[in-house]
Amino acid sequence: MTLVPFDDRDGWIWWNGSLVPWRDARLHVLSHGLHYASAVFEGERAYRGHIFRLRDHTDRLIASGRWLGFDIPWSAEEIDAASAAVLAANGLTDGYVRPIAWRGSETLGVSPAGTGVQLAIAAWAWPSYYGADRMQGIRLAEAVWKRPSPETAPTAAKCTSLYTIGTLSKQRAEAEGCSDALMLDWRGRVAETTGANVFFVIDNALHTPTPDGFLDGITRRTVMALARQNQMTVIERPMDPGEIAGASEVFLAGTAAEVTAVREIGPHRFTPGRITETLMRGYDALTACPPAEVARNLG
């Protein structure tokens, strides 16, 4: 398959208040966000012309910026409208939406004093992250890198700096023939994959790690709500790697991953089953609903 570089595509990108041709959306090489990772972003999916849980993503983008010490100079309403506008400008009803905010090039040093804040939003067609058959199950390697303590990094923010170890972990996993990697936290407890939350079915109950050192994902919370609506027991708690062997089903949840079954984590094997399929179908049905109906369904 021929890859189309992201800097050489047709289309439009929203940049600081207006739509600009895709190829013209460029920043200076001496931007603070490039050198010091002073950038935050979101990953969103649109289904049938609606960006799923858009306001939740926009609110998290704004909150992430504040974690990094800056305010994005557009309101949530303006960012929502810009996200919808760039989706429409690119002729998409189903696709991926990527807002990113970063400190600019006014000054360059560890201190960000004097830098302005830039905001861009792009959208493109992006099919299923792990392949069309999400019930088939993917293979996860065991990551060497660990998620950091909240005392050493702004783990509540979706910021670019925290994705470095995810990139390294996924690169190694793919070299080993796996789709992704399961990461532990700084204490050696189960955390997440490089870009999605993880769930384990143990004794017919749904268990998932407490998000005290990684993002409490929007898809994660959606899946938990769907599970409770289906009368499933949902347990958030610290989880040790030794418990993985006791799971009968494992799946991931994330905007890019949606709900994807896992069939292997290191030496452990799993068979995707009823609970995974129920939540996958429920999530897919929910994403097809208009925003008002999504809000009603999630209470």
Active site residues: 158
Three-class SS state of 16: coil
Burial of 202 (0-12, 13-18, 19+ CB in 10 A): middle
- One-letter amino acid for residue 228 of the chain: R
**Closest residue by Cα to residue 269 from 137, 169, 179:** 137
Scanning the chain, the segments in alpha helix (DSSP H) are 32-36, 54-67, 76-89, 164-175, 218-229, 274-287, 291-298
Q: Which residue matches tokens 């995707």?
A: 272
Closest-CA residue to 140 (of 118, 111, 173, 166):
173
For residue 205, give every residue at least 6 positions away whose Cβ sits within 8 Å of its Cβ, in sequence order, or none.
232, 233, 234, 235
Q: Which two tokens stand for residue 4?
A: 């189309």
Please identify which residue in the block is written with the tokens 């990697």.
181
The residue assigned the tokens 């990953």 is 43
Which residue has tokens 């532990």?
A: 184
- CA-based nearest residue to 119, from 15, 227, 239, 254: 15
